[in-house]
Amino acid sequence: MEPTDYSKIGEENKKFQPFFNLWTTTDIWRKSYKSWMHDPFEELDAQKLEETVDESNKKMAQVIRLFRDKELPGIMKIAEAIKNEVEEFKPLVPLALGLRTDGMKERHWAVISEKVGFEVKPYEGFTFHNCIEMDLPKFTDICVDVGEKAGKEYNIEMSMAKMKREWEGIDFRLIPFKKTGTYSVAGFDDAMAMLDEHIVLT
């Protein structure tokens, strides 16, 4: 039995890799796009959306570069079509990030509605596709600005809630001081350390 030539296997894998990247990226892109557009708006993970768009764009650029010198017009046509789809969608990423920021509440949607001149508010069955149909991409800057403010408010609220929980664990205890009939306060040092930490945070 002749020994296995692993260098040839490596070469074959290297030749196959661009095809693998093309088909897997195409599959991920098409499924993701369908989900973003038609699944319930509250299930839209904007951070994951941004990562998928960036990764798909990068992978398709690599595939096109590797196939450019090969005579594979059918493959190139598919790769370029997917790359164009990604590029066309890319300007919508900031809108998705802005509207799906943690902390978006009714008051934030009211601000957006007031600024764009028509009601913008998620309802049952609302999707990201509805946002596009409303022509919200024209108002991306407004949505991003409101989303950023909502996110900052949310972070402050979460920090305040965390601090409140931490204070619930701080107890002051009265301990008899020798035989004087008076008491000293225990737990004061812990409280001061916690207070100093929270002053720095706020």
Q: What is the DSSP code string of the chain?
A: -PPP-HHHHHHHHHHHHHHHHHHHHHHHHHHHHHHHHHS-GGG--HHHHHHHHHHHHHHHHHHHHHHTTSS-HHHHHHHHHHHHHHHHHGGGHHHHHHHT-TT--HHHHHHHHHHHTS-----TT--HHHHHHTTGGGGHHHHHHHHHHHHHHHHHHHHHHHHHHHHHT---EEEEETTTTEEEEESHHHHHHHHHHHHHH-
Q: Does residue 156 belong to any structural domain of this protein?
A: no
- Residue range 40-60: average pLDDT? 95
Q: What is the pTM of this model?
A: 0.74
Q: What is the pLDDT of residues 69-93, one digit of tens each?
A: 777 778 888 999 999 999 999 999 9
The answer as to whether 58 is a domain residue is yes
| Spatial distance between the Cα atoms of 202 and 194, rounded to a whole number of angstroms | 12
Q: Are 41 and 123 within 8 A, CB to CB?
A: no
CA distance 56 to 63: 10
| Residue-level pLDDT at 68 | 78
Pair 123, 187 in one domain: no
Average pLDDT over residues 178-186: 71
Q: Do both 27 and 105 map to the same domain?
A: yes
* Structure confidence at residue 4 as a pLDDT band (50, 70, 90): very low
What percent of the chain is predicted at pLDDT more than 70? 79
Answer whether residue 176 is part of any domain: yes
pLDDT for 164 equals 76
pLDDT digit string, tens, across residues 109-122: 999 999 999 999 99
Q: Are residues 113 and 193 in the same domain?
A: no
Q: Which residues of 159-184 are buried (b: 16+ CB within 10 A; e: fewer)?
A: eeeeeeeeeeeeeeeeeeeeeeeeee
Distance of alpha carbon 66 from its chain centroid, rounded?
30
Cα 130 to chain center, whole Å?
20
Considering the domain architecture, whether residues 40 and 89 belong to the same structural domain is answered as: yes
Contact 153, 103 (CB under 8 A): yes
Can you tell me the mean pLDDT for 21-48? 95
User: Max alpha carbon distance in the chain (Å)?
Assistant: 98
**141 and 185 inside one domain:** no
Q: What is the pLDDT of residue 5?
A: 45
Assigned domain for 153 exists: no
In a domain, 126, yes or no: yes
Looking at residue 114, its amino acid is: E
184 plus 92 within the same structural domain: no
What does the pLDDT read at residue 3? 47
Domain contains 187? yes
- How many domains does the chain divide into? 2
Assess whether 134 and 183 both reside in one domain.
no
Token pair 């030749």: residue:
15
Query: What single letter denotes the amino acid at residue 67?
Result: F
* pLDDT number for residue 168: 72
Verify that 116 and 79 share a domain, yes or no: yes
By the 8 A CB rule, do 62 and 20 touch? no
Q: Are 83 and 34 contained in the same domain? A: yes
Query: Does 20 share its domain with 98?
Result: yes
Tell me if 108 is assigned to some domain: yes
Residue 154 lies in a domain: no
Give the domain extent around 191: 164-201
| 118 and 91 assigned to the same domain | yes
Among residues 118, 145, 172, which one ends one of the domains? 145
Q: Is the pLDDT of residue 141 over 80?
A: yes
The answer on 177 and 140 residing in a single domain is no
Q: Does 191 have pLDDT greater than 80?
A: no
